[in-house]
Amino acid sequence: MRFTVLDSWRGLCALWVAVYHFRVISHFGDTELVRHGHLAVEFFFVLSGFVITCAYGDRLLTTADRVKFMIRRFGRLYPLHLVTLLAVVAMECARWAISMKVGREVGGALFEGATDPATLIPNLLLIHGWGFWPDFTWNVPSWSISVEFLLCGLFVLVFALPRRLMAVALFTAIGAAAFLYTRYGIAEQSESTTAVARGVYAFFLGGLVYYAYRWWKGRERGVHPWLEWLVIPVFLVVSSVDGTLLPPLLFAAMIFIFAFEGGVVSRALKQPSLVRLGEISYSIYLVHYLVVLAAFGAAAVLGRITDLGAPWIDASGRLYGDLLTVVYLAVVIGLSAVTYALVESPGRNWFNGLANRPTRRRPEASAGD
């Protein structure tokens, strides 16, 4: 079952993250909504829990089913993660070569902090977002991909339980994650400290939302189309409640409403261009940071970096900053379409084929063996 409107929302939220990371002085670059673009990851976690529970909540009946599920999820996440990780490594090597040529470090310290070579192995193993390291590294947005794969493993464990125990496990996981998130909040610790707790809380909340949706729809009920317009205050509230448990709850309500696809906003979100945006949203999410690094590298060489508490690109005027942002998004979308076609889709299909291969049974031993 495909939720087309929710796919379109995924694409729009991927662009939200992309604009958040592209810090250029413009008319909208420092607005509340853009400055809280990292909260789109909470939306992704809730939506992922919703969609995966819909697709697999009643299907993981045997060990073979669970193994195939993990193979599919690995194939969905890892190929593009690996390619973008290697691309960032190559870009850091290029920055080193340029720095050697000009006689100074261009764009900050080389192979330190986010590009510490010691964190390459954790990135390759897809465990770099589990809170063992204080900073997110290399292709920074991929921390959530690491957490997502861990969540898939937890999903298998929870949904392998008997139904009554599964319900207890779901609420326990959400409650424990909520406690850890509030106890070790972002204000006190680094973001990586709460990454897994954030993911568990939002992901399994999404699973509960799916069951609420299925229960409500099973009674042949829908939601009032006008409720879709609540998306506006949702985003306004989200922009002011960072570091709390509220954003995933708001996104959960939003996903529940739009899953019914019954209003004017849903019809608008079914436009082919937005549906396509949702289709390549994973590529947008991982590829955009490569474009950000390239843009900041070019700006550093040209001396167009301004320190406003964090590095920002100064495009010599907010109007030029607006134009640069539009060009940046066009490049991100175009490049993401290429990586979707050449990396993401073939990689996913190959691993899906691997998961679909029939299991060979060992021949029974004969009496003479």
Model pLDDT for residues 296-348, shown as the tens digit of each residue: 888 887 778 887 777 878 888 888 888 989 999 999 999 999 999 999 999 99
What percentage of residues in the chain have a pLDDT greater than 90?
Answer: 38
Let me know if residue 366 belongs to a domain: no
- Tracing tokens 């959530």 back to the chain, one arrives at 144
Under DSSP, the state recorded for 359 is P
d(CA 158, CA 155): 5
What mean pLDDT is reported for the chain?
Answer: 84
pLDDT of residue 369: 39
Where does the pLDDT of residue 184 fall: very low under 50, low under 70, confident under 90, or very high at 90 and above? low
Residue of 122, 118, 101, 79 whose CA lies nearest to 352:
79
- In DSSP notation, 79-111 reads HHHHHHHHHHHHHHHHHHHHHHHHTS-TTS-TT
The whole domain housing 45 covers: 4-355
How many domains are there within the chain? 1
Residue 349 in domain? yes
Percent with pLDDT over 70 in the chain: 88
Contact 351, 72 (CB under 8 A): yes
pLDDT tens figures, 242-269: 667 788 888 999 999 999 988 899 999 9
178 with 201: CB under 8 angstroms?
yes
Tell me if 258 sits within 8 A of 266, measured CB to CB: yes
Q: Is residue 362, in this structure, part of any structural domain at all?
A: no
Q: What is the pLDDT of residue 94?
A: 82
Say if 363 falls within a structural domain.
Answer: no
Q: What is the spatial distance between Cα 296 and Cα 328, in angstroms, rounded to a whole number?
A: 12
> Could you tell me which of 266, 287, 366 has the C-alpha nearest to residue 330?
287
Residue 364 is assigned to a structural domain of this protein: no
Which tokens sit at 116? 């510490």
Torsion of CA 27, 284, 342, 295, to 10 degrees: 40
In a domain, residue 282? The reply is yes
Instruction: Tell me the whole-structure pTM to 2 decimals.
Output: 0.88
Q: At what angle do helices 246-258 and 195-218 cross, to 10 degrees?
A: 30
| CB-CB contact of 202 with 246 (8 Å) | no
> Would you tell me how many other CB atoms lie within 10 Å of the CB of residue 352?
14
- How far apart (Å, rounded) are the C-alpha atoms in residues 149 and 73? 7
| Whole-angstrom distance, CA of residue 166 vs CA of residue 160 | 8
The answer to whether position 365 is within a domain reads no
* pLDDT at position 196 over 60: yes
**Facing residues of 75 across strands?**
none
Residue 303 CA, chain-centre distance (Å), reads 32
**DSSP SS3 for 153:** helix
Q: Which residue has the higher pLDDT, 97 or 103?
A: 97
Q: Quick one: pLDDT band at residue 364, thresholds 50, 70, 90?
A: very low
Q: Where are the alpha helices (DSSP H) in the chain?
A: 4-21, 32-35, 40-56, 63-102, 120-125, 143-159, 163-183, 195-218, 231-238, 246-258, 264-269, 272-279, 281-301, 318-339, 345-356
